[in-house]
Amino acid sequence: MNFDLALVFAVLMGTAVLLYVLLDGYDLGVGMLMLAATPKEQEVMVASIGPFWDANETWLVLGVGILLVAFPLAHGQILSALYLPVTAMLVGLMLRGVAFEFRVKADGWHRELWNRLFWFGSFLASFAQGLMLGRYVTGFHTGFIYYLFAALTGAALCGGYVLLGATWVVMKSEGELQAKALAWTRWGLAWVALGVALVSLATPLVSATVQAKWFAQFPFVPRSAWLALLPLATLAAGAWVWHATVKLKNNTAAPDWTAFAGAISIFTLAFLGLAYSIFPYVIIDRVTLWQAASHPSALKMVLVGVVIVLPFLLGYTVFAHRVFRGKARAGLYE
């Protein structure tokens, strides 16, 4: 059986990026919510992400690594166009890592300082990723309107990560902190709606190819019934999250994980919509998967390594979340 190796690696890269957004997204969101919590609540929030946050970033390394070795032409063009936001993201990730570890040993105003740096590192990394998304979906066009769009997308992605982080805290906490997290969830949901709307509007406007894939003669009317399922399912997932917050706020019977599952659904559906819009391009209307792909012999060699490594990454992720399931306790990560 002959496999389309370029397509296989595109699926692997997309999966790695999606898992990074979902997993590191919730701990970046928790980092951006730290300053809205009391010192005691901050300890619970830190304990909720302590066993996971550094391992979650492994998926980013895998995704970028696949881009480098499987699609070197696209890697060079994308990272050249995104040099500054990529640098800002790396600075943010390093800063939050240092702050996360140093705050444990600090006391008094020193701990507050590291908490603020942890917040800033989380915000900087999140905003930079949103900038990269905004620049990517507009085909790296230059001009004030495109940079403004990228900035709005950066803010919206920060809000999206806040949604993931808030629903994670809802699942991992109880009492007053959980009540606060429910309010944060609704705030984050509004920002996610803005982000999905921005990307959904921008990609058809910037690319005639994307517009033709989604719409027939009428703008904003999906060309087939199955395409309408994606935006409808996304709206349903948003309503699910909102309904879950209402039920939990009113202390009615609702599992704590329902809001987090709804937030994951929103991001996954939005990602699938973006993937459908862009395919078969790695860079919209410029470079396809097959034009950017490495030689088949190189892809076969790399595929062997990915097949060996990927089960370990998936296994560890599932194992860690299973071992540390349940409510977080203050002082767990001291």
Question: For position 198, what pLDDT does the model report?
Answer: 81
- Report yes or no: 35 and 42 within 8 Å, Cβ to Cβ: no
Residue owning tokens 């209402």: 246
H/E stretch holding 186 reads helix 175-206
- Both structure tokens of 201: 């509007």
| Parallel/antiparallel/unpaired status of strands 287-288 and 281-283 | antiparallel
Q: Which residues pair with 283 in a beta bridge?
A: 287
**Residue type (1 letter), 140:** F
**Does 218 score more than 60 pLDDT?**
no
Please compute the mean of the pLDDT values over residues 205-216 and round it to a whole number.
Answer: 74
Please compute the mean of the pLDDT values over residues 311-326 and round it to a whole number.
Answer: 89
Better pLDDT: 168 or 193: 168
**Does 109 score more than 50 pLDDT?**
yes
What average pLDDT does the chain have?
86
Question: For position 91, what pLDDT does the model report?
Answer: 94
257 class by beta-carbon count within 10 Å (0-12 exposed, 13-18 middle, 19+ buried): middle
Please compute the mean of the pLDDT values over residues 211-220 and round it to a whole number.
Answer: 66
DSSP summary character for residue 215: B
Write the DSSP assignment of 101-133 as a string of letters: HHHHH--THHHHHHHHHHHHHHHHHHHHHHHHH
**Does 93 score more than 50 pLDDT?**
yes
Instruction: List pLDDT tens digits, range 26-80.
Output: 999 999 999 888 888 888 898 888 888 888 888 988 888 888 888 988 888 888 8
**Does 180 score more than 80 pLDDT?**
yes
Please compute the mean of the pLDDT values over residues 153-176 and round it to a whole number.
Answer: 91
User: Quick one: what percent of the chain has pLDDT higher than 70?
Assistant: 93
- Report yes or no: 67 and 78 within 8 Å, Cβ to Cβ: yes
Dump strand ranges (E) for 24-76: none
Question: For position 219, what pLDDT does the model report?
Answer: 56
Question: For position 168, what pLDDT does the model report?
Answer: 94
Please compute the mean of the pLDDT values over residues 141-161 and round it to a whole number.
Answer: 88
Instruction: List pLDDT tens digits, range 158-169.
Output: 999 999 999 999
Instruction: List pLDDT tens digits, range 239-272.
Output: 898 888 888 877 766 688 888 999 999 999 989 8
pLDDT band (50, 70, 90) for residue 1: very low
Please compute the mean of the pLDDT values over residues 92-102 and round it to a whole number.
Answer: 89
Question: For position 252, what pLDDT does the model report?
Answer: 67
- pTM listed for this prediction: 0.90
**Does 319 score more than 50 pLDDT?**
yes
Question: For position 158, what pLDDT does the model report?
Answer: 92
Better pLDDT: 76 or 213: 76
Kindly list the distances between the CA atom of residue 307 and the CA atoms of 47, 60, 310, in Å, as whole numbers in the listed order: 32, 17, 6
